[in-house]
Amino acid sequence: MSSLYHFAARAIHSRWLKRWPRGRSSGGHTKASQYTPSSTLPRAESRAGASREKQPGSMAAGGGSGVVKHIVLARFKEEVTPERLDQLIQGYAALVDAVPSMKSFHWGTNVSIENTHEGFTHVFESTFESTEGIKEYVKHPAHVEYANEFLSVSEKILIIDYKPTSVN
């Protein structure tokens, strides 16, 4: 099963790379730059991990609503100190209290034994109540300010939003 998994992962990755537009930074991922809510950037725990969540409440359901995960993969510039990374992570976690639609935040560092990380070292996961909640987050002044700070020390990022689905 393991070899089947590796074959499928390589096939998917290969097809993805062929479709990715040329002219992007190395690896087909966006280099960090200035953030504005209308920018066209694609969107993407040291010490064992950390998380921050709001108290359970109602999450919207139906239509364009329902839980949405916002995943950010990042590689930071070499000159970024561990203390600076800690400040960035604390700032990201503080967005849970600043942005009403952001329900939780988790983060970690790459611990994979497979060499497919393409240089990404950190993973950040936020949970939102809906796709409308993501739109609210993207435009929120606290996020715009934080995103500019984050991008200024990022070498490259990849952002993906998805709706979790169970296999029946």
pLDDT of residue 54: 53
Residue 113 belongs to a domain with what CATH number?
Answer: 3.30.70.100
Residue 84 domain boundaries: 28-162
From the candidates 122, 137, 143, 146, give the one annotated as an active-site residue.
137
Residue 10 maps to a domain: no
Using the 8-state DSSP alphabet, how is residue 90 labeled? H
Residue 140 annotated to the active site: yes
Active site residue 137: yes
The pLDDT, as a whole number, for residue 105 is 97
Position 28 scores a pLDDT of 37
Q: What is the pLDDT of residue 115?
A: 84
Q: Each residue's pLDDT tens digit in the chain (168 positions)?
A: 444 334 344 443 443 333 333 333 333 344 445 555 544 333 333 333 455 555 444 343 334 568 999 999 999 999 999 999 999 999 999 999 999 999 999 999 999 989 889 999 999 999 999 999 999 999 999 999 999 999 999 999 999 999 999 888
Q: How many domains are there within the chain?
A: 1
Does residue 20 form part of some domain? no
In whole angstroms, what is the distance from residue 100 CA to residue 96 CA?
7
Domain contains 120: yes
pTM (2 d.p.): 0.65
Q: Which of 29, 70, 140, 143 is catalytic?
A: 140
- Sign, CA torsion 92/98/102/103: positive
